[in-house]
A and B are shown apart, each in its own frame.
Chain A
Amino acid sequence: MRVEMKVNGVTRSAEVEDRTLLVHFIRDVLGLTGTNVGCDTSSCGACTVLVNGESVKSCTVLAAQVSGEEVTTIEGLAEPDGTLHPLQRAFQDNHALQCGYCTPGMVMASLSLINEHPNLDEKAVREGLEGNLCRCTGYHNIVKAVLAAQGEMGAKL
C-alpha cells in the first residue's frame, strides 16, 4: 500500500507492505536511523517519535496508521545549520547521555512531556519518562537536562 506522511516537515511517500511498522518505515525506508529499536515491545521507549506532536512508540504503530499525519523524529529538532534544539543542548550540557542509545527516545518523550505540562517538577519528569529506559542508568542527569530545558523552551516545537 502507499503511505504518505509529513516527516520533519517534508512530505514523504512510499509503497510499503501493510504490516510495516512505523519505526521500520522511518529507519529503513526513509533512512532516518536516529530513531532506535530497543526492546521492540513498547517497553523501553528507544523508538519514541512524535505523531502530531505527541509521543508514541513507533515499534507498536503501523506506518499505515500514521499515513496522512505529521511525524517528528530526532533528526527534525536541530536547526538546518546544525544549531541544537534547547532540549538537545540541555542533554549535552548536563551530560545526560552515556552510551546514547536511549537518547533519541528520551529527547522525543521529554519534548512531548514539556509541551503537555508547562511546569514540570522533578517527580513529574521522572513519572513522565517512566516509559523510557536508560540501561546505563543515567537518569539523574536526564532529569536535570529536562528541567533545564523547560526553562528555555518558551515556544512550542
Chain B
Amino acid sequence: MFPSKFEYRRVASVDEAVSILSQEEDAKILAGGHSLIPLMKLRLASPELLVDITKIENMSYIREDDGEIAIGALTRHHALETSELLAREVPVLPAVAATVGDPAVRHCGTLGGTASHGDGASDLPAALLALDATFVAKGPKGERRIAAKDFFTGFLETALAPFEVLTEIRVPKGYRSYSFQKFNRRAQDWAIVGVVAVRNGTTNIGYVNMGVTPLRATAVEQQLASGASDDDAAAAAAAGLTPPSDINGSSEYRAHLAGVLVRRALSELG
C-alpha cells in the first residue's frame, strides 16, 4: 500500500509552516507520521501537500518553565518515556507514553502529533486532558494558548485552525500520584478502554476510547469531590457517556469496563 500522490515540503521554522498552511488549500502537517501515514496509505486521508515540521530546531524539549513543565510539540514518545524530569514531576506521562504502540513507533511518534490528531482512542491525549494541560499554538496572528478542556472538539478534530501549528504542551507540576489502567488483549493493541487518573488534592480522570474524543470522567470526579467512596464514585463511571461499539467490545461492555478500571485506578492512587 502507498498513499495517493502528494507534494512533500520540509520547513525550517514554525513561521514558514504557518505561511505555507495559510496559502495552501489542502495541506497537512507531518510530524512523526505514525497516525497520518497509515491513514494516507489506507486512502482515508489524501492531502495534496505534506509540510514536514520535524527538522525545525528547538521544538523537542522537556523543561521547567514558569512553574510548569513545558514540552516541545516535536518531543517523541521515547523521550517522554525516558525523561527524568517527567518521572519526577509528572510521572503519569512517562508511564502512559511507554505503552503507546511499540518501541519503533515511540521512536517516531510525537506528543504534538498525537495531540493534534485528537484521537479518542489514543492514550496520551487522555492523559493531557486529565492533567489540564495547556496547548500553545502559533498562527499568522501570533501565539495563543488553548486549555485542554477546549482542545478536543470532535472526531479527529481539535481547536487548532488549519493554518496553526501546535508548538508546545504545558503541564502543571504536582500530580505525583497517578494510576494508568490500559485494558487490551494483546501486546501493542490500542486500549479497549483506558483510564488515566491523577491526584493532587483533587482527583482528575481521563478516559481513552470511551467516546469520539478523549474525555474526562466528570461524574466520577464530582462524586469524589463531594466525598463519595471510591466504589460509589466508580459506579458513576459511564454516567452520561455513550462509549463506542466495535469489534473489541460493545458500548455496554465498555461502560462496564470503565467502572472496573476506575475502581482499580482509585485504589492504586496514593
Q: Which A residues contact B (CB, under 8 angstroms)? A: 1, 17-21, 24, 40-43, 45, 48, 51, 54-57, 60-62, 64-65, 109, 112-113, 116, 127-128, 130-132
Contacts and interface: CB of A to CB of B under 8 A. Distances in A.
A19 B2 contact: yes
Contact of A45 (B6, B7, B104, B107): B104
A20 to B, nearest CB: 8
B41 A131 contact: no
A45 B38 contact: no
Interface stretch (B18-26, B29-37, B230-238): B29-37
Contact of A42 (B7, B8, B78, B105): B105
A40 B54 CA distance: 23
B103 A40 contact: no
B94 to A, nearest CB: 15
Contact of A60 (B7, B34, B50): B34
Chain B interface size, under 10 / 10 to 19 / 20 to 34 / 35 or more: 20 to 34
A21 B2 contact: yes
A18 B8 contact: yes
A56 B102 CA distance: 10
A150 to B, nearest CB: 15
Contacts of B10: 64
A65 B101 contact: no
Nearest to A48: B104
Interface string B36-78: 0110010000000010101000000000000000000000001
Contacts of B2: 19-21, 24
A130 B37 contact: no
Nearest to B30: A65
Given A60-B108, A62-B37, A45 B102 contact: yes
A132 B52 CA distance: 27
A61 B3 CA distance: 11
Of B4, B37, B54, B104, chain A has the most CB atoms within 10 Å of the CB of B104
28 contacts: A1-B8, A18-B5, A18-B6, A18-B8, A19-B5, A19-B8, A20-B2, A24-B2, A40-B1, A41-B1, A42-B38, A42-B104, A42-B105, A54-B107, A56-B104, A57-B104, A57-B108, A60-B33, A60-B37, A60-B38, A60-B108, A61-B33, A61-B108, A62-B50, A65-B30, A112-B103, A113-B103, A131-B101
